Amino acid sequence: MDALKQRILKDGKNLGGGILKVDGFINHQVDTGLIFACGQELARRFASIKATKVLTAEISGIGPALATGYHLGIPVVYARKSKPITMPDDVFLTLAPSHTKGRTVELIVSPEYLSGGERVLIIDDFLASGATILGLVRLAQTAGAKIVGIGALVEKCFEGGRRALEPLGVPIEALARVEKMDGQQITLAAD
């Protein structure tokens, strides 16, 4: 998706160690027009999979997921990283390693909002190692729901996430694919 790719090349920052900073338009400050255009494009790509729910993880997945769910006309569930007092005692919980936090985080979903028969589209800001998305896959599968697609704004192709998710046999879409991050450079894939 050209608008996102150009924005990454203009305002994204390669901080080294594979860390791509997009805090100015996705992750801390959000360009609302851009994020909604991204959601519209993801909704277009997943129009035929008949998803009934979008699943994401707080915090930075929420924006892309809401924009996508809005354009598909379906609700979004975001997995919590700590259990709020409004959640029942019995929950779906899994652990996922977080690269940016350098530790393992909990992903928690209430059984009230994820159940068998749902067709789940997973949306996140980044597809990197795939660890967070695989955590969301486990939550959905535990609930008896069916994963029907996986989408991200930005893929870091060199972290192997796509390969880890391919055995699921569902369409995987990323709107901008980062092929290499050498020195201070950011190189996008040509597609």
Cβ–Cβ < 8 Å for 153, 176? yes
Q: How far is the CB of 166 from its own copies (least distance, A)?
A: 28
Cβ–Cβ < 8 Å for 156, 128? yes
For the record, the structure tokens of 87 come out as 């959640």
42 binds its own copies (CB under 8 A): no
Cβ–Cβ < 8 Å for 153, 175? yes
Q: If 0-12 CB within 10 Å is exposed, 13-18 middle and 19+ buried, where does residue 106 land?
A: middle
Whole-number Å distance between alpha carbons of 12 and 89: 41
76 binds its own copies (CB under 8 A): yes
The CA-based diameter of the chain, rounded to the nearest angstrom, is: 48
- Return the residues of window 91-130 that contact its own copies according to CB under 8 A: 100, 109-110, 112-113
Given candidates 3, 58, 142, 171, which one binds its own copies under the rule CB under 8 A? Answer: 58
Q: How far is the CB of 54 from its own copies (least distance, A)?
A: 8
Given candidates 3, 5, 27, 141, which one binds its own copies under the rule CB under 8 A? Answer: 27
Which of 51, 165 has the CB closer to its own copies? 51
80 binds its own copies (CB under 8 A): yes
Q: If 0-12 CB within 10 Å is exposed, 13-18 middle and 19+ buried, where does residue 101 land?
A: exposed
Q: How far is the CB of 179 from its own copies (least distance, A)?
A: 20
Which residues bind to its own copies, rule: CB under 8 A? 13, 15, 19, 21, 23-25, 27-33, 35-36, 58-59, 62-63, 66-67, 69-70, 73-78, 80, 84-87, 100, 109-110, 112-113
